[in-house]
Structure 1
Amino acid sequence: MNIDKFKHQHLDILRSIDLLRQLTHAGVERNAAEIAQRIVAMSSTIKLHLAVEDQALYPALQRSGNASLARMGRQYQSDMGPIASAYDAFARRWNTAESLRTDEKGFRAEANVVLRKVYERMQREDRDFYPRIEEQEAVHA
């Protein structure tokens, strides 16, 4: 399975997180509308990414014949549940300029926790998971 699209989506999400960080440092109140817009846009990418993982990547790993990779895929899928739920709640809460302006401190605190979890998860996939999938593909190519 070619995972280039997954890796590209990770780059898009990481760029979005970085941009949110920059906008937040420059001032939540001043940049509230753009922050909210970026959260909505990033949510679309994340939802698409998770759906394709669930519908294509993980099932392909289960059919791969590689028990270790199948097990790893199940673990990654299971671990993602709480992270995805936390991100979804975050995105629903902070997707308007008004909500950001009303509770800047709450936004900053939640963004630090939730976006760090998303960031760390993608780093782990890029470092540990995707290379294993690519190794498997190279062996069977």
Structure 2
Amino acid sequence: MYLELLVDHHTSIHSLLKQLSAFTSASMLAANAEEASRAISRLAGLLTVHLAAEDKFLYPSLARSEDEHIRTTAARFDEEMGHLASAFLSYKDAWMTPTKIRQNPAACLDATKEVLAALQERLGREDAQLYPLLQD
């Protein structure tokens, strides 16, 4: 089922977020720039597919649901979090290479914390509030 695939994506995304959040200081991030770059790259690939599936297919489909609660929840989530794909793309473009990370690890760390928080919020809210509506 389509929902199971999205839930599997969430599990994989959470794993990558945990890996990136392990870099807790600028010096640690600079020292592990290759590893961080690989994690950002893997996250970018997975998120590209996942966010496209949700933003272009899932949310528009839910907007046409016969269930008003599903429609309004999906519309609210799309409005509040629909910008995440473009925000992540900017982050990826700025920080996906080890060289870029090493050039300014403190700024990369700040940007990483910001994007991880936004992703964790979206995933958490979808897992807790949206996906359960679709399992009925």
Query: TM-score normalized by structure 2?
Result: 0.89
Give the structure 2 partner of residue 75 of structure 1. Answer: 76
**Letter paired with 2:13:** I
Aligned-partner Cα distance in 2 for 1:2–1:52 = 10
Q: What is the aligned-residue identity percentage?
A: 27
Match of 2:48 in 1: 47
Q: Which runs of 4+ in 1 moved over 3 A?
A: none
Gaps of 5+ in 1: none
Q: Distance in 2 between matches of 1:96 and 1:73?
A: 35
The aligned residue for residue 121 of structure 1 is 122
* Range with greater deviation from structure 2 (109-118 or 93-102): 109-118
Of structures 1 and 2, the larger Rg is shown by 1
> Could you list the runs of 5+ residues in structure 2 that have no partner in the other structure?
none
1:5 aligns with 2:5: yes
User: What is the number of equivalent residue pairs in this alignment?
Assistant: 134
What is the aligned partner in structure 2 of residue 98 from structure 1? Answer: 99
Displacement of 1:104 in angstroms is: 0.6
Residue 18 (structure 1) aligns with: 18
Q: Is the 8 A contact 2:55 2:82 kept in 1?
A: no
Deviation at 1:94, TM superposition (A): 0.4
CA contact 1:87–1:115 (8 Å) conserved in 2:
no
Given that 1:13 and 1:42 are in contact with CA atoms closer than 8 Å, whether structure 2 keeps it comes out as yes
